Chains A and B, each alone.
Chain A
Amino acid sequence: MEDIRSLLRGDAAHDRIVPPTGYTVRLTLFSAAAMAFLAVFALALSLAADRLADRWSDALAKGATLRISAAPEELDAQVAAAMAVLDTTPGVASARVLSDDEQRALLEPWFGPDLPIETLRVPQLIAVSETDEGFDAGGLRLRLSAEVPGAVLDDHARWRKPLLAAAGGLRWLGWIALVLIMGATAAMVTLAANAALAANAQIIAVLRLVGATDAYIAAAFVRRFTLRALGGAAAGTLVGMIAVTLMPDTGDTGGVLTGLGFRGFDWIWPLVVPVLAAAVAFFATKSAAKRVLEDLA
């Protein structure tokens, strides 16, 4: 905690003890900026996948379809019987027989707009809406098999599951990418800190000569690298957020790629990236400094 307090408090004289060394400054700034830029995209991907999963889940989970295949003279009776069963099924909010126009619209992508549906033996579809509690699909199937032999209940589970799994996979991919990006940032900062510490071995020797503790010496490097990572990551995040804003957006109707972006409070998440990068740099430099100071002792 004292390290963090000292980091926040700052000390101009302490900061000046270690001279700024050219390429480690640029390396840290560039890698922090690049990683933050990528992190913003990984975050956007993860959040878009999250939204897509929610949307698919909402759209498919609250509905089911009953398909009734029967001879034309029996179809009306079976539809009426099915509606009677649905009316008395707990968890069914409403059931509606699809009109010929609606059924024609469903078939239109395959058969064109002028399909004479009345001349074909097309199964009758009934759209079922569920209450929040939902219905017992197994129990409903048993009742339908007894009372409406031509009815097939599709509760959309076979569609929903792979879609939700795909969306979940994408979300995890986004988070794994974020973890890898933070790991790569830690590795870059560690390399830069090691190089800076090695380049300043003579300065460390002088500081030790005059009674500086390891904590004091390490703090000079830790503060420097943490602030560099924070600055670089802030720039990278800003550019990343601008790039995400400029991505084509089709709103909630689009897929994961066209829906890549932040909505509402999601915009807070990218702002965490520079803080996270600074925290990663803080611990990476602290660990590198501890190791190098032990080696130099």
Chain B
Amino acid sequence: MIEFENVAYSYGGGELLSDISMQLVPGSFHFLTGPSGSGKTTLLKLCYGALIPTAGHLRIFGEDVAMLGRDDVAMARRKIGVVHQDCQFLDHLSVLDNVALPLQVSDQDTAEAMADIGELMSWVGLTNRAHALPPELSGGERQRAALARAVIMSPDVILADEPTGNVDWEMSQRLLRLLIELNRMGKTVMIATHDLGLIRAAKSQVQARVLRISNRRLQLAGADL
């Protein structure tokens, strides 16, 4: 699905990631951990084609990302849902419009699809906040709205970058349950986090692979987690 083969990424003369090899296979659940600034967000951006490797091969849905045009990357992103720590909403549009945005940009905003959004909003517990503007939401509500937007196209892969960074423990557990539920529906999930508590909590509920970035390289995390 997403395959890294000896991938490196450099920026401004310095190498941020080096010799990364991994595969995100369908239905798998991954945690990506490491200290702040270790390159977790960079690795996630590589996963959805926002960055191009400076060395090695990265294949997204079987296509070498270096060979893809911008429109091809846009098409690939419709199969990858992304949840950012800062959520990235269009603040002048309602939560409902933001959640529907992927449908709209892919010209799939049919009446039937729009009717299903109500169900999705209910699933993330935001039915009553559908017409609010994003700045009016709490941190947890914003994360759940971002998750709803990430899954509305029923993507094959969900990438979440520090999704629980701005929420309390209870809300982080709620978000985790939603992500685990998505994984049980067959979605591939990768969560970048430095919250080891979240990883420990997840391991009791889902078979997760924990990867750690250390010294620019990716390692399988050991039993300390």
Contacts and interface: CB of A to CB of B under 8 A. Distances in A.
Interface in A127-165: none
A264 interface: no
A246 interface: no
19 contacts: A14-B104, A16-B92, A17-B101, A19-B92, A202-B88, A206-B90, A207-B101, A208-B50, A208-B74, A209-B77, A209-B82, A209-B88, A210-B78, A210-B105, A210-B149, A211-B74, A213-B70, A213-B75, A213-B105
**Interface size bucket, A side?**
20 to 34
A14 B104 CA distance: 8
A232 to B, nearest CB: 23
B177 to A, nearest CB: 24
Contacts of B50: 208-209
B93 interface: yes
Contacts, number: 59
Contact of B70 (A13, A16, A214): A214
A214 B93 CA distance: 20
- Closest 7 A-B residue pairs measured CB to CB? A211-B78, A212-B105, A211-B77, A210-B102, A19-B92, A213-B74, A206-B88
B109 A210 contact: no
Contact of A205 (B71, B88, B109): B88
B35 to A, nearest CB: 25
A12 to B, nearest CB: 11
B66 to A, nearest CB: 14
Given A213-B105, A293-B70, A297-B70, 9 more contacts: A13-B104, A13-B109, A16-B92, A17-B90, A202-B88, A209-B50, A209-B77, A210-B78, A210-B101
Nearest to B84: A209
Interface string B87-131: 011101100010001101110010000000000000000000000
B153 interface: yes
Contacts of B101: 17, 206-207, 210
B71 A214 contact: yes
B100 to A, nearest CB: 8
Contacts of A202: 88
